[in-house]
């Protein structure tokens, strides 16, 4: 059980953030640099994201009067300016999700810094300010990520899964708030089927996925917790799934005691509670490891589970 809930505004039992990772077709170009242009069906599958799904999602948010967060790779921000402007105009948050969805784990510290800066620049152009939050593409937070986030003034990260409530990531350089994610709350595991992307999950019914998401919500409410989704417009923004999400938001609002907010608002609130001493988060010191653990034999190559 969670012993240590955040005192949310207006006595809410749960803070809820529907976060969308607006990957669009960045992931196709990254995976197939030389022949992404040939893969028109997958392009269309992914471009559904900014062209059809996001307008649909924004309309729902307008109807419910909620403001939420979109994590976007910088390339998508530049490629789909009309969609991004609409997100900003409606008062939602645009947060950082890499530049071309590149994995930080596969890059040097310098390369990671370069892509972080390039993604921030794209977001600044459309929002007029620096992004405050980041989710690593594929959750691939590297051992350099925290220091770079601190260096660039980010206040929160949403890539890790080390707790169910907000906690602190601390290094010698400083700290950021972690608003954790979780695989069960990621729509890809429930629905994503794409031969080109080599992700072939058995497609669940919208009711089945909603059952998982709502059971997480119920548990978060009972425990004074946090409920954060990792959804993708091209996956969850399809009609039957989105209809189910609309019903789900309605159920959540009717239940009462839920604070729908952007991740930035949640992080700022948590910061305030920490300062006031009304919330004492757990602290994770990073890096957890630096290099191979000494217990491994020198010739160990790596083997499966």
Site residues, Zn ion (CB under 5 A):
21, 23
**Cβ-based nearer residue to Zn ion, 23 or 187:** 23
Distances in Å between the Cα of 287 and the Cα atoms of 115, 163, 255 are 21, 17, 40
CB of 18 to Zn ion, least distance (A): 15
CB of 137 to Zn ion, least distance (A): 5
**Cβ-based nearer residue to Zn ion, 170 or 238:** 238
CB of 139 to Zn ion, least distance (A): 9
Q: How far apart are CA 71 and CA 22, in angstroms?
A: 6
Q: How far apart are CA 96 and CA 94, in angstroms?
A: 7
Which residues, in sequence order, are bridge partners of residue 258? 14
CB of 114 to Zn ion, least distance (A): 19
Burial class (CB in 10 A: 0-12, 13-18, 19+), 43: middle
| Closest residue to Zn ion using C-beta atoms | 21
Q: Quick check: 126 and 85 in contact, CB under 8 A?
A: yes
Q: How far apart are CA 154 and CA 156, in angstroms?
A: 6
User: To the nearest 10°, the Cα dihedral for 196, 69, 170, 145?
Assistant: 30
Q: Residue 55: phi, psi to the nearest 5?
A: -55, -40
The Cβ of residue 54 has, within 10 Å, a number of other Cβ atoms equal to: 25
Length of the chain: 305
**Cβ-based nearer residue to Zn ion, 19 or 262:** 19
**Cβ-based nearer residue to Zn ion, 14 or 46:** 46
CB of 97 to Zn ion, least distance (A): 6
21: part of which helix (H) or strand (E)? Answer: strand 14-21
Q: How much is the CA Rg of the chain, to the nearest whole Å?
A: 19
CB of 56 to Zn ion, least distance (A): 19
**Cβ-based nearer residue to Zn ion, 2 or 197:** 197
**Cβ-based nearer residue to Zn ion, 14 or 94:** 94
CB of 23 to Zn ion, least distance (A): 4
The Cβ of residue 281 has, within 10 Å, a number of other Cβ atoms equal to: 18
**Cβ-based nearer residue to Zn ion, 21 or 147:** 21
């Amino acid at each position: 059980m969670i012993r240590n809930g955040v005192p949310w505004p207006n006595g809410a039992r749960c803070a809820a953030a529907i976060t969308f990772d607006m990957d669009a077709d960045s992931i196709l170009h990254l995976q197939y640099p030389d022949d992404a242009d040939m893969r028109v069906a997958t392009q269309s599958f992914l471009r559904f994201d900014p062209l059809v799904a996001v307008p649909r999602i924004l309309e729902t948010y307008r109807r419910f009067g909620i403001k939420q967060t979109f994590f976007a790779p910088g390339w998508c921000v530049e490629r789909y300016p009309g969609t991004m402007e609409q997100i900003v105009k409606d008062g939602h948050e645009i947060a950082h999700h890499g530049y071309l969805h590149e994995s930080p784990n596969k890059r040097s510290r310098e390369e990671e810094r370069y892509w972080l800066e390039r993604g921030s620049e794209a977001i600044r152009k459309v929002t007029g300010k620096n992004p405050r939050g980041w989710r690593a593409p594929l959750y691939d937070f590297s051992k350099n990520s925290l220091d770079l986030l601190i260096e660039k003034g980010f206040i929160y990260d949403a890539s890790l899964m080390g707790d169910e409530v907000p906690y602190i990531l601390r290094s010698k350089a400083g700290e950021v708030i972690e608003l954790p994610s979780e695989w069960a709350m990621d729509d890809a595991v429930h629905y994503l089927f794409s031969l080109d992307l080599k992700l072939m999950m058995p497609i669940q019914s919208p009711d089945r996925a909603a059952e998982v998401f709502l059971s997480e919500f119920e548990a978060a409410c009972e425990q004074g917790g946090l409920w954060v989704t990792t959804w993708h417009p091209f996956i969850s923004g399809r009609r039957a799934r989105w209809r189910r999400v609309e019903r789900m938001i309605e159920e959540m609002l009717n239940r009462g005691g839920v604070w729908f907010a952007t991740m930035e608002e949640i992080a700022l609130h948590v910061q305030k509670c920490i300062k006031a001493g009304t919330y004492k988060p757990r602290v994770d010191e990073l890096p957890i490891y630096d290099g191979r653990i000494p217990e491994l034999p020198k010739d160990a190559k790596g083997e499966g589970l």
